[in-house]
Amino acid sequence: MRFGVFASVLLHLAIVGAAFLSLPSSWRPNVTPEPYIPLDLIREAELDLKTSVPAASPKPVEEQPEPDIPEPVVEEQPAPAEEAEPPSLPESEPEPEPEPVVEEPEPAPVEPEVKPEPPKETPNVKPKPPSDELDLDALSQLIDKERENERAEAPRETPSQTTETADKARAAVGAGDRLTASDKAKMIAAISRCWTVGTIIGAPEPEKLIVDLEFELNRDGRLASPPRVTNELQINLSGNRFWKVAQREALTAVVKCAPYDFLPPDRYDDWKEFSITFRPPV
């Protein structure tokens, strides 16, 4: 009896242990991992750079106190230099830039040097805006250089790139065994746009000229092989030349609109095979 109890406990433990080890892995549902949405922390100055709206007008106001407050000037000057304000950013831009970089560790001896420069510059600044003889080309070139320098310093994505990443990462959460309605709608819209029906709708009984196609796609949305017409035999046997025209137009529609690069590549298994039925409108 003791042996029996012992054996029973051992077997129970064995079963529980086996269940503990194997069941969790087999019961775990097939859930796609949570979409990864990359976040990018940017400074306010960079936000201004990314958006297409030019910087707010207070910038020229900021430049007025420049001669009065040397130190803040040293730091602020690069900021207005980045914004796209041609009239208020004369050729003196590059000059202050290297200076703060070099002189920051020694602000004290620098100040007297910095001071005379901004006052020197502001007289340059002031007459310039009123005069209409601004060399805007030179100004724009300078500004572009500023932007390019910025970009060279810290490579960052353009706004469109960030939104695209966000779109691609925003996949449906849940059972991923079906193409989402929006992806299907995009596919329908793309193919409909490329399907020329003008030559078919004048035919007698165009609603009967139905064409069934099948094709496979690569991960980048390109056609893996030429599309196949699954009811080709029926079309050939009918001898209906309008139907053959409809068949040709359906094939052209699929080929013309490839590659279908708007489909999410991380759910490739859901959309790698398509079957399409073209029904000409009456």
Partner 1 sequence: MKIIQKLVLGIVAVFFVSPAFAQRVHIDITQGNVDPMPVAAPDFLGADDQTIALGRDITGVIMNDLDRSGLFQVIDQRAYIEKPKSVNERPRFADWRIINAQVLIIGEVQELPDGRIQVSTRIWDVYADEQLGAVAFKTPADNWRRAAHKVSDFVYKTLTGEDGYFDTRLVFVHETGPKEKKVKRLMIMDQDGANPIPLTDGLNYQVLTPRFSPTQQQITYMALFDNRPGQVYLFNIETGEQEQLGTFRGMTFAPRFSPDGRQVIMSMERSGNSDVFIMDLSTRRLTRLTDNPSIDTSPTMSPDGRRIAFTSDRGGTQQIYTMNADGSNQKRISFGEGRYQTPVWSPRGDLVAFTRQYNGRFYIGVIRPDGTGERLLTESYLDEGPTWSPNGRVLLFSRQTASRRDGTGGEAQLWSVDLTGRNLRRVRTPGDASDPAWSPLLP
Q: Which residues bind partner 1 (CB under 8 A)?
A: 14-15, 17-19, 21-23, 26-27, 29-30, 177-179, 184, 187-188, 191-204, 214, 241-242, 244-245, 248, 251-253, 255-256, 269-281
DSSP 217: B
Dihedrals phi, psi of 273, to nearest 5 degrees: -125, 135
Minimum gap (Å) between residue 170 Cβ and partner 1: 20
- In this structure, the number of other CB atoms found within 10 A of the CB of residue 20 comes to 10
What single-letter amino acid sits at 52? Answer: S
Minimum gap (Å) between residue 7 Cβ and partner 1: 15
Q: What angle do CA 215, 172, 158 make, to 5 degrees?
A: 90
Q: Closer CB to partner 1, residue 168 or residue 272?
A: 272
Minimum gap (Å) between residue 179 Cβ and partner 1: 5
Q: Closer CB to partner 1, residue 45 or residue 203?
A: 203
Q: Closer CB to partner 1, residue 143 or residue 276?
A: 276
Instruction: Tell me the CA end-to-end span of the chain in Å, nearest whole number.
Output: 85
Minimum gap (Å) between residue 95 Cβ and partner 1: 49
Q: Closer CB to partner 1, residue 115 or residue 268?
A: 268
Q: Closer CB to partner 1, residue 75 or residue 261?
A: 261
Peptide bond into 24 cis (omega under 30): no
- Dihedral sign, CA of 63, 67, 73, 78? positive
Contact 83, 60 (CB under 8 A): no
Q: Closer CB to partner 1, residue 79 or residue 203?
A: 203
Q: Closer CB to partner 1, residue 89 or residue 211?
A: 211
Contact 78, 100 (CB under 8 A): yes
Give the separation between CA 102 and CA 114, rounded to whole angstroms.
Answer: 12
Minimum gap (Å) between residue 164 Cβ and partner 1: 24
Minimum gap (Å) between residue 277 Cβ and partner 1: 5
Minimum gap (Å) between residue 130 Cβ and partner 1: 48
Q: Closer CB to partner 1, residue 143 or residue 195?
A: 195
Give the separation between CA 106 and CA 109, rounded to whole angstroms.
Answer: 6
Minimum gap (Å) between residue 273 Cβ and partner 1: 4
Contact 242, 279 (CB under 8 A): no
- Dihedral sign, CA of 141, 143, 148, 149? positive
- Dihedral sign, CA of 160, 165, 168, 170? negative
Chain centre distance of CA 222: 20
Chain centre distance of CA 91: 36
